[in-house]
Structure 1
Amino acid sequence: MSPRLTILILLLTAAIINLYPQGASPDPPVIQVVSVDTATGDVVISWEPGITGGIKEYVVYDVRQGQDSAADALDTLDVTVTTYRHQGSQASSRSVSYTVAAVYADDTSPLADFHHTIFATTTYDSCANQINISWTPYSAWGSSLLAYNIHIRDIQGNYSLIPSISPAVTSYEYNGVEQNSGYCFYIEAENDKFLSSTSNRICLNTTRAYPPSYINADYATVTADNDIQLKFSFDQNTQLNDFTLFFGNAASDIVVPVAQFENITSGSLTYTHDVFSVEKKSYYQLAVVDLCPTKNPVKKSNIASNIILQATEDNYVITLEWDNYYQWLSGIKFYNVYRITNGGEVEKIDSLPYGINTLTDNLGIMITDDNLVGDKVCYYIEAEENDDNIYGIKGFSQSNRVCISLEPKIYMPNAFTPDNNSYNDRIKPILTFRPESYLFAVYDRWGSKVFETKNADEYWYGKINGRKKAPPGVYVYYLKITTSGNIIIEKKGTITLFYP
C-alpha cells in the first residue's frame, strides 16, 4: 500500500470515529407526527432520519397498551421509506402509541420518542341539549403544540370548524344541537412547524330515550277507607321507567306532584292517595319523566278523577245524583247503582247509560217488609268504561258511599167515621216499620179506656171495648212503641169520632 493511500484511509477512519464515537449509540429517528386517518381509522406515522449516517432500514413499533417499556414490531421498512400506515389499528377505541428505530450494519438505534394518537370521545347530554367532546392530548409535541381544532359534520353532511382551542384544553361543550339528529367529530392538533395530527372520528345520534307509546289511566276509585286508589297501565317497551303522579282540583290545573316512582318495568302501577275528602273532586295524571335531575315530564296519561255521589231523603224516597267520571279514552258505558242494607248486603238496583246521572229509590214498601227503621241505607255508583279502549283495557270506578239514616216515622189520623160504609170506618197509627213492641190505647173524655191492642195490625172500629158503638166526640189516644233498634217512642193525641 502506498503511503499516500494509507494516509487517506487514516483520515477517513478518524472522520468516521468523530461522527460516530466508539461506544456511542446511533441517533434514533425523529417522529414528526402520528395521525389517524379519519376516513379509514388507519394510523399514519411519519419521521425523519437521525443525524447518524449509515442506516440500512427502519423498524416501526406498536407500543403495548399501558407498557411504555414494551413494544411490538409492526414492520421493517427500507431506508428510503419514512412513512408508515398501520392498518387495523385500535385508534378508534383508544389512544395508540408508536415508535421507530433505525437499523445500522452492526447496531440498532434507541427507540424514538413515543407519539400517541389523539383519542376523542363524545357523550350526549339530552337534559342540557349539548354534546360533550373530550380527547387525549398530543403530548409529544410539548411546547410546540399551538392549538386544537374541532371538525364537525352534521347529519346533512354540512361541515363546520371550531378553531384555535388552547393546547391546555382537552374538552369542549357543543351546545344547541338538534334532537334526533346525527353528528360526527374529530380533533386536529397543530404545531409551530405546520404539522397536524388528527384523532379518530367519532359519530353519535342525539336521540333521547324514548317514552312508552301510551300511558292509560285505568281508573280512579274510592276505597272503603275513603281514599282514592289509582291504577295506570303503560307500554313496557320504553327506555324511560321513572314516573311522577300529578294531582289537581281542576282538570286544567293538574300540577301538584304527589308521588314519584322509579324504575317501574311491570307495565302498570297502582297508588292510593290519602285525600282530605272523597266528596271533593280530585284529578290525576301520571307522567313519565326524563333522566334529567329535574325529572321533566315527557308524556302524560289521560286524566282520572273520582265520582262524587250525593243523596237526599224525603219520606223514605231517596234521590241520588252524581257527576261524571272523567276521562276514560273510550268513554263511559254504564253507571251501575248499588244499595247496601242489613249490615252489608250489597244489591245492584239499576244500570243506567251514560248521560243519566240521577235515580230515585222509594224505600217505603221495603222498609215495612224488611224493618229497616233505625238502620242506615248506603249507596255507591260504579262507572264502567266502554269496551273499545284501544289498549284493550276496561276500567271501573266507584264513587264515594253515601248513607241515609232511616228514622222511624209514625202517622196518626185525627178523625174517622165508623158508619159501616167501608170508607174511613177504622183508625190506627200508620207505621213505616215493624215494631218490636206495640201498645195502642184509646180513652174517652172521662179517662175510661175504650180500646187497647198490642197488635200493630189491629184497628179501632169505634166500639167501646169491642161491643157497642162509641158515641161521637173527641177521644184521647196513647201510643208506645219500641223499634228494632231499641228506640222507645211515645205519642199522645186526640181522635174525633163522628157519624155523618
Structure 2
Amino acid sequence: MSRIRTYMKILVKFLLLMIILFPSVVQAQAPAIPDLILVTVDHSDNGVLIQWNPSADSDIQFYHLYKLIDPVDMTFQKIFSFGPYTIEYKHMTSGLTNLAYAVTAEDSTSNESLLGDNVHRAVATTVEFDLCTEANIVQWTSYEGWEGDISGYRVFGGISGSPLQELTFVPASTNSYSHTGVAANTDYIYYIETVNISGITSNSPLDTVSVLYPVAPSYLTIDHVSVLDEASVEIQYSADITGEVNSFRLLRRSNPGTPFTEVDMRLNVMESTQVVQDQFLTSTYTYQYLVESVFQPEGCGTSLVISQSNQGNSILLVNELNDQIVTLNWTPYESYEPGLAGYIIQRNDGSGEFADVQTIGPQFTQWQESIQSMVNGFQAGELQYRVIALSNPHNGGTEEQSISNITTVVIETHMQVPSAFTPNSNDINSEFKPLMDFAPRDYLMIVVDRGGRKMFETSDPGEGWDGRFQGGSFVDEAVYVYYIQYTDYTGLFNTYTGNVTVLYP
C-alpha cells in the first residue's frame, strides 16, 4: 500500500476517534467521499486531467480538489472548488511532478468528507542514458490509487520530433525498461501508460534524454594495406588523437558480410600514425581491415565503439599462363579515403628489381601481356609480378600505395642442340651452345671426346663451348659427345645426349 494511503488511513482513524470521544463537536455526518477514477497527463497540452465519480450523497454543494505539495510531510493544498455537477478537471500546471491529487465533497451544512483513501498519484518517470550498456534506462514509480487493479505498463518512446511508438508491455511488478539500439547524439522522449484491468489508462508526463557519446576523432583513416612478404602484411592508419578518444582497435575479416575479429588493440596512443603487422599466407588469402576508435567509460567492463575508419584490404594477385600469354587477376583495393586513382603493374624479370610495366585505371582488375617478346635464350623461365594500388592525391599531393603479394609465372624451357660449329671463326657458329627460349633453373653441360676426356663443362645456360680443351688450345677437328641435363622452372627434368662436330674453315 502506498505511503499516501497509509497516512490517510491514520488520519481517518484519528478523526473517527475524535468523533467517538467528543461527539458534541460533530454536528452532522460528513458526506460520502467521491471515488477518484484516474489522474493522467494529456500530452497534447501537458495538462493533468483528474476524473472522479459523484459522491453517493445527494446533498452535495461543492467538490474540492487537493494537490500534494510536500511529499515529505504529506501536506495537501486545496487548489480548486467546483459545483456539484463537475466530475473532472484539467489542471494546467507548470510543474509535472508529484502528480498526487484528492477530491472531497462538501454538503449544504458545510460538512466536508475526509481525504481518506481518495488519493491518486500518476506515474513519475526518470530516464538516463547508460554509456556502459549504450541504452536509455527508463524507470518509473507505480501508479497509486489502483493497487491490485493494474494489469501492466506500456512503455512508449522514440526520437524527439518523431511519432512515439509502443516499445514494450510489462507486468505491474516491473518498473524499468532498457531501450537498446539508440542513436548517438540524439534526443529521445518517453512516457509510461498505466493500464487498469477495467481498460482505462493513465499517462505519465513526457521525459526527455540525450544520448551523448564522447566526441569522435575528427579523422580516422586506413592509409594503406601492403603485403610485406609471403606471410605478413602492413596496415597503416592515421587518427586525430587530440580529443578524449585516443584508443583504437584493428579488425579484419575474410569475406564481406562476415563478422570482423580483433587483430590489434592500442590504448591511449601518443602518435597519430600507427603501423600494425598481420600474419597470414598472403598468396592464398585476402583480408578486409577496419579500425574503430574506442572509449572505456569509468566503471564499464567493456569499451565502446565511437567511430569507424574506411575499409582497406590486402590485394591478392594470381596469374595464368596460356599460349605465351600471361594473365593477371587481383582483388580490387577498397577503399582509399580520397579514392582509388589506378594500378601500377610491375615485373621482375630476374634482375632482382621490380620495374613498372604499365599503369591502368581503377576499374580494371585484370591485365595481360605476351611473353614472346622476352624470348632471348638468357631470360630465366621465371617472371614475378606485383600490383600497386594508388590513391588519389591528398594532404598536399600525397599518394598512398597498397602493394599486392608477388605472384610468380613459371615457364617451361624448350631446347634445340646444334650438330656442328666452327671455333675461332668469329661468326654465329663460333661456339657450341644449345638454343633455348627461356633459361632453366638448374643446368649442366659436359663435352667429352671419343676417349671420354672432358673438354668442357658449365652450369651457366648462357655460356657455350668455344672449342678449346679445358680453356686452353683449340681441339682437333673431330666428333665430340655432349651431355646436357636441366630442370626448368616448372620442375620438368630433361636430358640431351648427342654428337657435335668441330669444323674449321
TM-score by length of 2: 0.47
Q: Which of the pair has more CA radius of gyration?
A: 1
TM-score by length of 1: 0.47
